[in-house]
Structure 1
Amino acid sequence: MKNTTRELFSRIKIKHRERGARRSVCLALLSFRFSPRDYGFCMSALLLFCLASLFYQWNGGAPRILIELRQYLGESTFVDDHGPYPPRVLPFPSQVVYNRVGKCGSRTVVLLLRVLAERHQFTLVSSDIHNKTRLSKHEQVGLMRNISNLPKPFLFTRHVHFLNFSRFRIEQPVYINIIRDPISRFLSNYFFRRFGDWRGEQNHLIRTPGMKDFERYLDINVCILENYPECSNPRLFYIIPYFCGQHPQCREPGVWALERAKKNVLENYLLVGILEELEDVLLLLERLLPHFFSDVLSIYKSPDYRKLGNMTGTVKKHMPTLRALQVLYQRMKYEYDFYYFIRDQFHLMKKKIGLKSTAPSAPQPSFLLNLPPATQDADLEEELEEDEDLEDAHNWLVQP
């Protein structure tokens, strides 16, 4: 009996020693692979990654909808490689902000949105504030909270520079916008401020009541060539601040504002179109935001809408001389850098979506800088005669 008990205790001790040995081996392996220093380094890296991710979301991180859309579109053109897209439901956003740029077809789009909002039953808020694009921090927060509290789905539109909702820990909406050739925009604005549009002869007097007669009838060539404030920087630096944001440096013509504007477009804008290809812009908006823009092109082409749209054309516009155009183009080099960037991005989006457009792409007007002095302005002006419609925006760029 004693021998049996001793054998039993011996076996238990042996098993205990074997378990202890295995445990020691495991600990030794772990200590060999992950020392306390390595473990601390891994944990520190993980913590930094989490903090960086959180900081990115709080400071202008891209809305989730844009990330999902870019993953869906991918890096290559699906249509070119595989034919038509397979049926798939895209994650459409319910919060859209259109911080419309002045004299870039925004009144045309707002007229369309009013019809669409009634037809598709979404909330449309179109602000009538036209002359306050830069806001204090308190005003920014107040406006962003008001926007975020609108009934969804909503589309909010106003002339205002880009607002970074994420910076104030408010959910970032999706942005859309439309721009046009910078010189065309400037000319349209110059004559609109003086003479209004076809909706009424007195509209311009309401918008510019303090303008003196000598200013109202100032020849645009004199304004440009004699460097009047209205026709020189920083007044000419107009489009980029809408995308750069509320930072004071966004209003200073330079590389900093240009690059920040490009970054915001890539991270926060679902689509930035160009007015010269407005029908393609509307087609893409219908594809990307169907619950807002379904049937938009048929409405745009309808006789009733055309009658309304024709009333927004600026009156008494005429083309400056070639020399004045050259001076403007040189002064607006950052605006043109941004415009060409947007045009390339827009064409890339059309290609990825599979939209085959017949809209002509205007060349870069490098000839403006290189024509010989002997070129006669009068002869060129006959070739550059502009149309009265919205689609006149690039006529002056077409090289004869």
Structure 2
Amino acid sequence: MHYNYVGVLPSLRYSTHQRVMRNIYQSINSWLFRRSILWITTLVLAVVLLLYNKQFPLYLQVRRGSSHNLNSILRENLHLHSVCSKPGIENAGIFSNATVYGKQVTAHRHLLFNSVPKSGSRTLVSVMWALSASYNTPEPYYIRYMLDATRTTENKTATLISHLVALKYPTFIHGHVPYLELPTEVTPVYASILREPYSRYVSWYYFMRYGDGDMNETGLLTRLGPDAARPNETLDDCLRLERSDCLNWKYYRLNIMMFCGHDPRCNYDPDYALAKAKKNVDNYLVIGVTEEFTDWVRVLERLMPSMFRGAVEKYLELEDELRHILHTPFKIEPSPEHQETMKKRLRHDIEFYQYVKQRFHKLKKEILSGTGC
């Protein structure tokens, strides 16, 4: 049998040509597809890098590789809770360039809160715990009592530095810790709050004997020295009988001693301690006053939003509950005569308090005026 290949050969040639063209087309498509994927990937990476550099530098830099990323980014960029921010605070110009007081902190850093006994510190710590629970940020870090005179300044400084170095992420650190000058590379942001000294003293005296809803009096009574006033003695009794906790000068100069620093004169020269404590206020972001607690928290939120964003809102949520829990159930005002005696002994602390209050009012007016926050 003979086949006519005349009509077959063109079709074979066409089929071969078609397969070649199809292969070329598929190769081109495959190449274009790969290039497209590469371009898209490059574009996505460029956008991510842009966002990284422009929008999320603080949280992504500090939290890289951490489970805190998402919550922190949401807090910072989606404004899930109140934000009191005002551009240009860092250039307010109401304080000299030699001070950090009132100057906004734009970088993530540790904040060391020097807790003055019975001045509202547990209220702020409670707020910070609530923020940590709500937004999965680092928990507040407690440093044990360091106001005792039995430890040397070198020992206290070494202890504080060891705590700061051990913390991985920027953290709210608190405790009854005096102001200590630290090496620049480990110096945290400092903040604190003072209460009117006479009121603080009365509150402290009865708190140590009756406690409150947070601290039981049984444990507090064990801290009273052998010469201290007994649990059933009023402050009038304590002053009249000259008990140690109503006679020892350290109870009347607590504030200036805490903020004076580590110079030995801080402990025995009240005039020097007062002057030095005033000077050291320049090393604090802000020192507020207990009587204006809400405004103090507002200022903190403004000056260091990376640490305190949402603190005002959280405090207002918890305010009534905290006031109830932290209330000392028994307190009697001393006689007018004893009040006068106490205020004379407290005169250095009172002057320091008034100085701090005056500076806080200037800062508060500059930051909060006309903002509605």
TM bin, normalised by shorter chain, reads 0.5 to 0.7
2:357 alignment counterpart: 343
> For residues 218 and 262 of structure 1, what CA distance do their matches in structure 2 show?
35
Q: 1:206 to 1:90 in 2, by over 3 A?
A: closer
Residue aligning to 2:204 = 189
Q: TM-score if structure 1 supplies the norm length? A: 0.62
**1:292-331 aligned within 5 A:** 292-302=307-317, 306-331=320-345
Specify which of 180, 183, 188 is matched with residue 163 of structure 1: 180
SS of 2:155 mapped into structure 1: helix
User: What do the CA deviations read for 1:75-102 (whole angstroms, capped 9, x no partner)?
Assistant: 38xxxxxxxxxxxx96245221101111
Please give the per-residue CA displacement for 1:183-241, whole angstroms capped at 9, x wherever unaligned: 111011100111111346xx122122265796111221132245432113232211112
Count residues with an aligned counterpart. 272
The alignment-based identity, stated in percent, is 26
The gaps in structure 1 that reach 5 residues or longer are: 1-68, 77-88, 359-400
Distance in 2 of aligned mates of 1:210 and 1:312? 19
Whether the 8 Å CA contact 1:234–1:252 is kept in 2: the answer is no
Aligned to 1:74: 93
SS at match of 2:332: coil
Q: State the Cα RMSD in Å.
A: 2.7
1:251 is aligned to 2:264: no
Match of 1:146 among 159, 163, 173: 163
Q: Distance in 1 between matches of 2:160 and 2:140?
A: 12
Letter matched to residue 163 of structure 2: N
SS of the residue 1:157 aligns to: strand
User: Which letter maps to 1:335?
Assistant: D
Higher relative contact order (CA 8 A, sep 6+): 2
Paired with 1:172 and 1:146, the residues of 2 have a C-alpha distance of 12
Q: Residues 94, 287 of structure 1: CA spacing in aligned structure 2 closer, same or farther, 3 A cutoff?
A: same
Aligned-pair CA distance for 1:329: 0.7
State the one-letter code of the partner of 2:350. Answer: Y
Contact 2:198 / 2:342 at 8 angstroms: preserved in 1?
Answer: yes
Q: Label 1:313 to 1:218 Cα distance change in 2 as closer, same or farther (>3 A).
A: same
Residues 301, 307 of structure 2: 8 Å contact kept: yes
Judge which range, 123-132 or 100-109, deviates more.
123-132
Contact map agreement 1:122 1:152 (CA 8 A) in 2: no
Q: Secondary structure at the match of 2:250?
A: coil
Match of 2:109 in 1: 94
Structure 2, gaps ≥5 residues long: 1-87, 96-103
Alpha-carbon contact 1:192-1:314 (below 8 Å) kept: yes
Q: How does 1:191-270 map to 2 (within 5 A)?
A: 191-199=206-214, 203-209=216-222, 211=224, 215-232=230-247, 233-252=249-268, 254-266=270-282, 268-270=283-285
